[in-house]
Amino acid sequence: MSEEQHKIPKEPGLDHTLELLKEGYHFIVNRANKFDSRVIQTRLLGEKAICLVGKEEAELFYDNSRFFRQEAAPSRVQKTLLGVGGVQGLDGEEHRHRKAMFMAFMTEASLEEVQSLAKKEWKRLLENSNDEIKIYDAAQIVLTRVALRWTGVPFKNDEAEDWASSLSPLFEMASNIGPKHLKSRWSRVQLENKIEGLVKKIRDDSIRVDQTKALYHFSWHKDINGELLDPHVVAVEVLNLLRPIVAISVYVDLTLFAVYEHPEEADYARQSHDNLQHFIQEVRRYYPFFPAAIARVKKDFTWKGYQFKENTMTLLDLYGTNHDPNIWKKPHEFNPSRFKDWEGSPFDFIPQGGGEFDMGHRCAGEWITIDIMRVTLDYFLNDVEYVFPDQKSGFDMNDIPPISGVTIKIRG
């Protein structure tokens, strides 16, 4: 018996990229609500785009037999945020093999190391800083130092700020058009050249780096044909560690902003390790960050009566799914204790993508992110004495990524 066919509700018009920039994180949900459908069609960057929101929709999106990733991301996002030739654009066996190169660094020992580096760098920064601290700026320096050390990229003490100011435009300006987009591209070219240079030196043994770390391992990684990766691709993949570790500064800013906005929930977090974890999870659910994951339809198929045509760009709304009232009670309330009862599905709580780590494209750094956020929150709740001075911190729903600018004043 053939399934009843439904037409995917379609927004009329030639292109809606400007509305996306205006409506930001609400863009997909606004259309899903208007058409009362979890599957809608619009046009973005001059192309037809299907947008999905919800848990079953996330399960569909992460079905490798239905979607592929090669060239899926818009070219401007590849030239800024992602780079060309990296794991995000691979499929099948090639993807699995490359992803394993990343996941090999997500061991318990490696995660413990990243936590102790984060604690050490926060202490060092606060011991040497003024009373008034803008959390986002401080976190960028701390996390740049953590990222370079954890990946084994050699640097001198006074070089950390330069690294921070070339790594941050990769994610801060990835959603911009105009001059900021160019700055982001320029930063990527500079960084790729610098890291490619290191890879070549490692291979001809003209520098020695820590052989237990990612820079060394990626430089000697062999692809599925047993060949070394192109040095440029190694640089892209090393940046796939450095950039997002520095991007955790956005979540650190939002974590302290949550402490500022919800002091009673900060008291809840102080009570135990589990409560700290619930607070962090709620920060990742409640606040927006990565707007949508992107793939393309592998071959024509029909799902719940909706027709998906080969090669159509498809977006999964991460923020929308994390606020889906079919999944979350009172989704627009900040309530860390909801995570006491969360059953842990790979498809309902997806701030860093959904599905599986090894076979799918779920974020390789999700555990690092959570661990760094938790030790940072623990430090600020239990070890540092500070107040929030009068301030106008906050962000708009079309600031991608959102940075509140929250500031603290250390009590001496």
Q: Which of ligand HEM, ligand MYR, none has residue 361 at its interface (CB below 5 to 8 Å by kind)? A: ligand HEM
DSSP character string of 371-402:
HHHHHHHHHHHHT--EE--S------TT-SS-
Residue selected from 160, 174, 316, 370 as contacting ligand MYR according to rule CB under 6 A: 174
Does 53 contact ligand MYR by CB under 6 A?
Answer: no
Does 241 contact ligand MYR by CB under 6 A?
Answer: no
For residue 60, CA distances in Å to 55, 57, 301 come to 9, 5, 11
Does 136 contact ligand MYR by CB under 6 A?
Answer: no
d(CA 373, CA 391): 23
Does 244 contact ligand MYR by CB under 6 A?
Answer: yes
Q: Which of ligand MYR, ligand HEM, none has residue 199 at its interface (CB below 5 to 8 Å by kind)? A: none
Does 146 contact ligand MYR by CB under 6 A?
Answer: no
Closest CB to ligand MYR among residues 141, 315? 315
d(CA 408, CA 402): 18
Measured between its terminal Cα atoms, the distance across the chain in Å is 74
Please work out, in degrees rounded to the nearest 5, the angle formed at the alpha carbon of residue 166 by the alpha carbons of 243 and 286: 45
Does 214 contact ligand HEM by CB under 6 A?
Answer: no
95: left (phi over 0), alpha (psi -120 to 50) or beta: alpha
Length in residues, the chain: 412
d(CA 353, CA 249): 19
Residue selected from 78, 88, 275, 407 as contacting ligand HEM according to rule CB under 6 A: 88
Task: Tell me the closest approach of the beta carbon of residue 406 to ligand MYR, in angstroms.
Answer: 19
Does 67 contact ligand HEM by CB under 6 A?
Answer: no
Does 320 contact ligand MYR by CB under 6 A?
Answer: no
Task: Tell me the closest approach of the beta carbon of residue 24 to ligand MYR, in angstroms.
Answer: 11
Q: Which of ligand MYR, ligand HEM, none has residue 58 at its interface (CB below 5 to 8 Å by kind)? A: none
Structure tokens at 158: 């006074």
Residues 272-291 that bind ligand HEM (CB under 6 A): 289-290
Does 376 contact ligand HEM by CB under 6 A?
Answer: no
Residue that has been written with the tokens 């818009």 in this structure: 74
Task: Tell me the closest approach of the beta carbon of residue 385 to ligand HEM, in angstroms.
Answer: 28
Question: Residues 170, 187: contact at Cβ < 8 Å?
Answer: yes
47-52 and 313-317 as β-strands: parallel, antiparallel, unpaired?
parallel
Residues 258-317 that bind ligand MYR (CB under 6 A): 289-292, 294
Q: Which of ligand HEM, ligand MYR, none has residue 241 at its interface (CB below 5 to 8 Å by kind)? A: ligand HEM
315-340 b/e with 16+ CB inside 10 Å = b?
bbbbbbbbbbeebbeebeebbbebbe
Peptide bond into 401 cis (omega under 30): yes
Flag whether 51 is marked binding: no
Listed residue (296, 330, 318, 300) closest to 58, CA to CA: 318
Listed residue (293, 410, 286) closest to 363, CA to CA: 293
Residues 342-371 that bind ligand HEM (CB under 6 A): 351-353, 361-365, 368-369
Strand order in the sheet with 132-134: 132-134, 407-410, 386-387
Task: Tell me the closest approach of the beta carbon of residue 250 to ligand MYR, in angstroms.
Answer: 7
Q: What residues contact 100, with CB distance under 8 A and at least 6 apart?
A: 358
Task: Tell me the closest approach of the beta carbon of residue 88 to ligand HEM, in angstroms.
Answer: 4
Residues 58-117 that bind ligand MYR (CB under 6 A): 77, 81
Does 144 contact ligand MYR by CB under 6 A?
Answer: no
d(CA 165, CA 198): 19
Closest CB to ligand MYR among residues 265, 365? 365
**Site map for ligand HEM, 236-265, x if CB under 6 A?**
----xx--xx-xx--x--------------
Task: Tell me the closest approach of the beta carbon of residue 186 to ligand MYR, in angstroms.
Answer: 17
Q: Which of ligand MYR, ligand HEM, none has residue 291 at its interface (CB below 5 to 8 Å by kind)? A: ligand MYR
- Interacting residues with ligand MYR (CB under 6 A): 77, 81, 171, 174-175, 243-244, 247, 289-292, 294, 400-401
- Interacting residues with ligand HEM (CB under 6 A): 87-88, 99, 102, 240-241, 244-245, 247-248, 251, 289-290, 293, 351-353, 361-365, 368-369
